[in-house]
Amino acid sequence: MGLLALITVPDLEQYPLPADVNLADPIVQVLIDSASAEVVDAAGSPIVSTRSTVALLAGRARLLRLPGLPVTEIHSVTVAGQPVVDWKQAAGGLYRPSGWGEDGAEIVTVDYTHGLPALPADIKDMVCRMVISGLLNASEGADGFALDNGRLSSVAIDDYKESYATGDTVDAITEMSLPQRTRERLAKRFGNYGAKVVGSL
């Protein structure tokens, strides 16, 4: 199981897979790690409970929001390397009556525990479906690994035609790519306010 993997092979065994899908194939773990990384990146945090250290640029606001909801325990808070104790844990962050960034913008380093005790069922299902989709495409051989770099933009019925939007504004995507609306929903759900957890224990 990879470091950030959100699911395991036994999770995939709960789904009705075609007989020719081999869950012992090394590509399975590659896809699990890839799908997990995409979901964690969108959420901005590991999702499942972990202890992390994050350095945030704080302005004069009284509430300093932390990524990786829910926040369950604050271990330490420092500003410019100096311990700060005049704060209270508030909804999704740290409240300080005098505000943060008293001398202008400053870096606040927070050591805290955050995340859910277990992966929510809907996220587990989403990651499993991403992996299964990748496995099914991989079973098609080389054609199954082609990047989709265009979106269907029009269809004509008589003398059947399809047109795809392509170019610099269209991302090359795979089964591991989440739609923007899903990424935004995950970011909001787990407190990704533009800051992301970059190191966890």
Domain limit, last residue, from 114, 144, 170? 114
Mean pLDDT of 21-46: 93
Tell me: do 65 and 93 sit in the same domain. yes
Tell me: do 56 and 109 sit in the same domain. yes
Query: Does the N-terminal peptide bond of residue 70 adopt cis geometry, omega within 30 degrees of 0?
Result: yes
Assess whether pLDDT exceeds 80 at residue 69: yes
Tell me: do 151 and 94 sit in the same domain. no
Mean pLDDT of 96-101: 87
The model's pTM is 0.75
Helix (H) or strand (E) holding 122: helix 121-138
Residue range 99-110, pLDDT digits in tens: 887 667 788 999
- Compute CA distances 42 → 23, 67, 132, 185, 197, whole Å: 26, 12, 20, 9, 11
Return phi, psi of residue 32, to 5°: -60, -45
Mean pLDDT of 114-141: 90
Tell me: do 110 and 133 sit in the same domain. no
Mean pLDDT of 57-77: 91
Residue range 35-62, pLDDT digits in tens: 999 999 999 888 999 999 999 988 888 9
Domain that holds residue 61: 50-114
